[in-house]
Amino acid sequence: MTTRPKVTLIAAMSIDGFIAPADKEALPSTTWTSKEDWQFFTRQSKAIGTMILGSKTFETIKRALPERRMIVMTSRQEKYSEFQDPNLIFTGESPEEILSELAEQGVKEVALCGGSAIYTLFMQQDLVDELVLTVEPYVFGQGIKLFAERLEQKFSLMKQEKLNEAGTTVFFYKRILEK
């Protein structure tokens, strides 16, 4: 059996655990996420090479990001037929199916890039090995939470890296499997 790729969840969030504020019109991501985090995300996702994201997150980007393969999860592949880039794949497959195909292609790691529905789906199926969480120094009070369901998994902090003077910090966690 081929080993599935390592799954590294990458997200930017507020201090209080939201990946998007309730009113995205008033506070678009370009205003609360830092330039340094975008640069960090770009480096990290390029180094990993393959991204998995949900269609709602793709709708916020609406293009192929350079030097990465993007696998967009959707039940409506036909809606995206206008996108003909070979590095942009729209699929209705399950997380297990996607990871098993990638393993057969020799892919060793994927970046799980959200949003909340997709993060939660992979976590529920126990498919997330590492978390790379950028905490931006904002509080939203309300918004889209990193995870949308009850979960119970243990992680260990491997390292942290401050990205700028405002205090934007990336935390790297590894999954701990309890016996």
Binding residues (CB under 6 A) for ligand NAP: these are: 11-13, 19-20, 24, 29, 54-57, 60, 73-76, 92, 113-118, 121, 144
- Of the pair 5, 21, the CB lying nearest ligand NAP is at 21
- In whole angstroms, the minimum distance from the beta carbon of 117 to ligand NAP comes to 3
- Of the pair 25, 178, the CB lying nearest ligand NAP is at 25
CA distances from 173 to 21, 34, 92, 152, 166 (A): 24, 21, 29, 15, 22
- In whole angstroms, the minimum distance from the beta carbon of 179 to ligand NAP comes to 30
3-state SS assignment for residue 21: strand
- Of the pair 20, 106, the CB lying nearest ligand NAP is at 20
- Of the pair 103, 117, the CB lying nearest ligand NAP is at 117
- DSSP for 107-167 reads --EEEE---HHHHHHHHHTT---EEEEEEES---SSEEES--S----EEEEEEEEE-STT-
- In whole angstroms, the minimum distance from the beta carbon of 8 to ligand NAP comes to 13
- In whole angstroms, the minimum distance from the beta carbon of 166 to ligand NAP comes to 16
3-state SS assignment for residue 14: strand
- Of the pair 92, 167, the CB lying nearest ligand NAP is at 92
Q: In this chain, which residue has its C-beta nearest to ligand NAP?
A: 115
Total residues found in the chain within this entry: 179
- In whole angstroms, the minimum distance from the beta carbon of 24 to ligand NAP comes to 6
Q: Is the separation of the CB atoms in 68 and 49 below 8 Å?
A: yes
User: Sheet containing 50-54: which strands, arranged edge to edge?
Assistant: 88-91, 69-73, 50-54, 109-112, 6-14, 130-136, 169-176, 154-162
